[in-house]
Amino acid sequence: MKSLILLPAALLAACNPQSGAQAQERATSASAGKPFTVTTIADFDAPWAMTFLPDGRMLVTEKAGTLLLVSADGKTKTPIATMPVMAEGQGGLMDVVLHPKFAQNHLVYFSYSEARADGLKGVVLARGTFVEGAVPELGKIETLFRANSYVEGNGHFSGRIAFAPDGHLFFTNGERQKFTPAQDPKVTLGKVLRLNDDGTPAAGNPLAAKGFDPTIWSYGHRNLLGIAFDAKGNLWEIEMGPKGGDEVNLVQPGRNYGWPNASNGSNYDGSDIPDHKPGDGFEPPKVWWNPSISPADLIVYSGKAFPQWQGDIFIPALSGKALIRVDVNGTNATKGDQWDMAARIREVEQGPDGAIWLLEDGGESQGRLLKLTPAR
Residues carrying an active site annotation = 156
What single DSSP character describes residue 308?
A: G
Q: Give the residue among 240, 80, 98 at the shortest CA–CA distance from 156.
A: 240
Q: Give the residue among 373, 370, 375, 371 at the shortest CA–CA distance from 44.
A: 370
Pairing of strands 223-229, 93-98: unpaired
Looking at residue 220, its amino acid is: G
* C-alpha 186, offset from chain centre: 24
Element (H, E) at 332: strand 332-340
Give ∠ CA 84-299-52 in degrees, rounded to 5: 55
Q: Give the residue among 52, 229, 65 at the shortest CA–CA distance from 130.
A: 52
What single DSSP character describes residue 187?
A: S
- Say which residues have a Cβ less than 8 Å from residue 369's Cβ, sequence separation at least 6: 40, 41, 42, 43, 44, 47, 50, 60, 70, 74, 357, 358, 359, 360
- Spell 307-339 as b/e; 16+ CB within 10 A means b: eebeebbbbbbbebbbbbbbebeeeebeeeebb
Q: Give the residue among 255, 293, 259, 253 at the shortest CA–CA distance from 276.
A: 259
What single DSSP character describes residue 278?
A: T
